[in-house]
Amino acid sequence: MNFEEHAAKPLLTAAGIAVPESRLARTPEEAAEAARDLGAVVVKAQVPAGKRGKAGGIKTAECAEEAKAAAEKILGLEIAGHTVEKVLVEERSDIAREFYAAILNDPATKGPLVMFSTEGGMDIEDVAEKTPGAIRQAKVDIRQGFGPEDAQAMLEGLDLGDARDGIADVLAKLYAAYRDNDAELLEINPLVVTASGGLVALDCKFVIDDSALKRHRELAATGTPDKLTELEARGEEAGIKYIELDGDVGVLANGAGLTMTTMDVIRHHGGRPANFCEIGGDAYTKARTALEMVLDKPGVRSLVVNFCGAFARCDVMMEGLLEAWDEVRPELPVFFSIAGTGDEEAIEMLKRKLGMDPLPDMDAACQAAAEAAKKAAAAEAAKGGA
**Residue of 108, 221, 382, 386 interacting with another protein (CB under 8 A):** 108
Q: Are 88 and 22 in contact (CB under 8 A)?
A: yes
User: In the bound complex, what is the minimum distance in angstroms from residue 340's beta carbon to another protein?
Assistant: 5
Please confirm, yes or no, whether 175 is among the known catalytic residues: no
Q: What are phi and psi of 115, to 5 degrees?
A: -125, 140
| Interaction pattern, residues 144-183, with another protein; x per rule: CB under 8 A | -----------------------------------x--x-
Report how far residue 51's alpha carbon sits from residue 122's, in angstroms, rounded to the nearest whole number.
10
User: In the bound complex, what is the minimum distance in angstroms from residue 246's beta carbon to another protein?
Assistant: 9
SS3 173: helix
Report how far residue 67's alpha carbon sits from residue 61's, in angstroms, rounded to the nearest whole number.
5
Decide: is 273 part of the binding site for another protein (CB under 8 A).
yes
Please confirm, yes or no, whether 242 is among the known catalytic residues: no
Catalytic pick from 100, 175, 178, 242? 100
Report how far residue 200's alpha carbon sits from residue 178's, in angstroms, rounded to the nearest whole number.
18
**Residue of 276, 325, 335, 336 interacting with another protein (CB under 8 A):** 276
Report how far residue 63's alpha carbon sits from residue 225's, in angstroms, rounded to the nearest whole number.
34
Q: Which range binds another protein by CB under 8 A, 30-38, 40-48, 258-266, 287-295?
A: 258-266
Decide: is 223 part of the binding site for another protein (CB under 8 A).
no
Report how far residue 225's alpha carbon sits from residue 9's, in angstroms, rounded to the nearest whole number.
18
Catalytic pick from 187, 232, 278, 319? 187
Decide: is 78 part of the binding site for another protein (CB under 8 A).
no
Concatenate the DSSP letters of all residues of 49-105 into one string. -S-TTTTT-EEEESSHHHHHHHHHHHTT-EETTEE---EEEEE---EEEEEEEEEEE
Nearer to another protein, 20 or 250 (CB): 250
Other Cβ atoms within 10 Å of 42 Cβ, number: 22
Decide: is 111 part of the binding site for another protein (CB under 8 A).
yes
**Residue of 243, 291, 293, 295 interacting with another protein (CB under 8 A):** 243
Nearer to another protein, 70 or 312 (CB): 312
| Interaction pattern, residues 30-69, with another protein; x per rule: CB under 8 A | ----------------------------------------
Decide: is 261 part of the binding site for another protein (CB under 8 A).
yes
| Interaction pattern, residues 350-369, with another protein; x per rule: CB under 8 A | -----------xxx------
Residues 295-314 that bind another protein (CB under 8 A): 308-312
Decide: is 340 part of the binding site for another protein (CB under 8 A).
yes
Q: Are 206 and 183 in contact (CB under 8 A)?
A: yes
**Residue of 259, 275, 289, 302 interacting with another protein (CB under 8 A):** 259
Report how far residue 186's alpha carbon sits from residue 104's, in angstroms, rounded to the nearest whole number.
7
Decide: is 258 part of the binding site for another protein (CB under 8 A).
yes
From the number of C-beta atoms within 10 Å of its C-beta (0-12, 13-18, 19+), residue 269 rates as middle
Report how far residue 35's alpha carbon sits from residue 5's, in angstroms, rounded to the nearest whole number.
18
Report how far residue 265's alpha carbon sits from residue 258's, in angstroms, rounded to the nearest whole number.
10
Contacts of 297 (CB under 8 A, 6+ apart): 231, 244, 250, 274, 275
Decide: is 212 part of the binding site for another protein (CB under 8 A).
yes
Decide: is 207 part of the binding site for another protein (CB under 8 A).
no
* Residues in touch with another protein (CB under 8 A): 105, 107-108, 110-112, 125, 141-143, 179, 182, 184, 209-212, 214-215, 241, 243, 245, 253-261, 263-268, 273, 276, 278, 280, 308-312, 339-341, 361-363
Catalytic residues: 100, 187
